[in-house]
Amino acid sequence: MTDQDRLLLGQTLTFSGDPFHMPIGDACDHNSQGGILIRDGVIAAVDHADTLKSAYPQAEVMDYGRNLILPGFIDTHAHYPQTAIIASWGKQLIDWLNTYTFPEEMRFVDPDYAQAMARTYLDLLLRNGTTTVVSYCTSHPVSVDAFFSAATERQMSVFAGKTCMDRNAPAPLLDTPQRAYDESKALLDQWHGRDRCKYVITPRFSPTSTPEQLEVLGQLWAEHPDCLMQTHISEQLPELDWVAKLFPKARDYLDTYEMFGLLGARGLYGHAIHLTDREKSRLRDAGGALVHCPTSNTFIGSGLFDMGARKGEGHKVGLATDTGGGSSFSMLRTIAAAYEIGQLSGTALHPAQLLWLATAGNAQTLHADDHLGHLAPGYAADITVIDLTSTAAIETRANQAETFWDMVFPTIMMGDDRAIADVWVNGGRVGQLS
């Protein structure tokens, strides 16, 4: 039996191109009286509301009025095990990891704790309109099982992997090169492509992996080239000095990955702030994605990512929360922070560019833009509905708006989970959000 057809009406916005590389008007498809038809879990039609209402008279109608219907937000770099230590005070990267992060990650040896945190985290994401995430787990395989199980319960499309570390972290979090390979492979075999789960090969960053571990993970990636690989690079200056000491033969930070087969088009390189010219051109030529994490970069004090310059050079760039180094679960708060960092780096990012990054652009960095990140027939019905007047302050500002983008920008800068009017995942409506 097929599900009841559902017609979602409101303002619709989706992207047919990259607004960093073409005029905004050409890249965006905005319909102030639009709609989408959901059939059997996917988007079956996108058109004017009136056209859809006459074409599908039997469909159950959800009329969202002036609210904005968007593809669900995608977060391309997060650490679900850091949910309970978000907003921990006063440390920069290495001290922050040692003081707050590693002790918390040790708790994920307990499958019940991991399960509870995975559920809490994914519910927070949905509350914030994020329907897809790429998350690090901990080094414990049970933390990966917990995450993928909780995502499957919610029918969410997620990407995740076991965080591999065999040095410079507390002993209970360390594996070995062989264990990293074996456990990652077993998890990959178990979860990759099951339901809506995708396995991501995950060396945390080169300071916590020996060359031997990076090498076996490069080998695993070569054996599974359709998987994504995620890691961190060039986030904070003292980290760069540490990497240079640990890898005296490497030409630079990127080389610690490149020499072990960990540079590629399906690589996600978190932060990528302090890159040399060689690193930039190698990353661009290889097609790897730089993942910008603006609330994390200001919160941990890492530096300013230059979005305008990197996009201008032809880099693939993703945008992410980096929860819990980042200070929010919300992609709205994240695009606001990206705007502010853009201003400090000399580029005022357009609201269309910000929303593209959080949806279609991020889908592209995951090589998933054939089924995620767009409102178009055949795409997953993962949808976020935004109230553009969700608080008194936003409403007061939006009432002055003369254009659509002027109407949207106050929500970008001041919106949070209160702006998320509704969320659909895999064609099903997530419980009434209050």
- The footprint of Zn ion (CB under 5 A) covers 270, 322
Residue 161 lies near ligand GUN (rule: CB under 6 A): no
Q: Tell the residue number behind the tokens 């006063």, with chain if given.
A: 90
137 binds, among Zn ion, ligand GUN, none (CB under 5 to 8 A by kind): none
Smallest gap from residue 325 Cβ to Zn ion (A): 6
3 state SS of 344: helix
Our CB check for ligand GUN shows the closer of 64 and 205 to be 205
3 state SS of 123: helix
Smallest gap from residue 407 Cβ to ligand GUN (A): 34
Smallest gap from residue 208 Cβ to ligand GUN (A): 7
Our CB check for ligand GUN shows the closer of 93 and 144 to be 93
Residue among 34, 35, 161, 325 that touches ligand GUN (CB under 6 A):
325
Single out the residue of 390, 384, 396 nearest to residue 411, CA to CA.
390
141 binds, among Zn ion, ligand GUN, none (CB under 5 to 8 A by kind): none
296 binds, among Zn ion, ligand GUN, none (CB under 5 to 8 A by kind): ligand GUN
Q: Are the C-beta atoms of 126 and 423 separated by less than 8 Å?
A: yes
Our CB check for ligand GUN shows the closer of 145 and 322 to be 322
Smallest gap from residue 367 Cβ to Zn ion (A): 20
User: Where do the H-state alpha helices sit in 206-301?
Assistant: 211-223, 237-246, 253-258, 277-286, 294-299
What is the footprint of ligand GUN within residues 204-263 (CB under 6 A)? 204-205, 232, 235
350 binds, among Zn ion, ligand GUN, none (CB under 5 to 8 A by kind): none
Our CB check for ligand GUN shows the closer of 10 and 325 to be 325
What is the footprint of ligand GUN within residues 65-104 (CB under 6 A)? 79, 93, 97, 101
At how many degrees (to 10) do helices 404-414 and 331-344 cross? 100
133 binds, among ligand GUN, Zn ion, none (CB under 5 to 8 A by kind): none
Please tell me the distance from the alpha carbon of residue 387 to that of residue 434, in angstroms, as a whole number.
12
Query: Both tokens of residue 226?
Result: 């359709």
Please tell me the distance from the alpha carbon of residue 176 to that of residue 357, in angstroms, as a whole number.
36
Q: Looking at residue 147, what DSSP letter applies?
A: H
Please tell me the distance from the alpha carbon of residue 212 to that of residue 252, in angstroms, as a whole number.
18
Single out the residue of 129, 150, 156 nearest to residue 334, CA to CA.
129
235 binds, among Zn ion, ligand GUN, none (CB under 5 to 8 A by kind): ligand GUN
Given its phi and psi angles, is residue 111 left (phi above 0), alpha (psi -120 to 50 degrees) or beta?
Answer: alpha
Residues near ligand GUN (CB under 6 A): 79, 93, 97, 101, 204-205, 232, 235, 296, 300, 322, 325
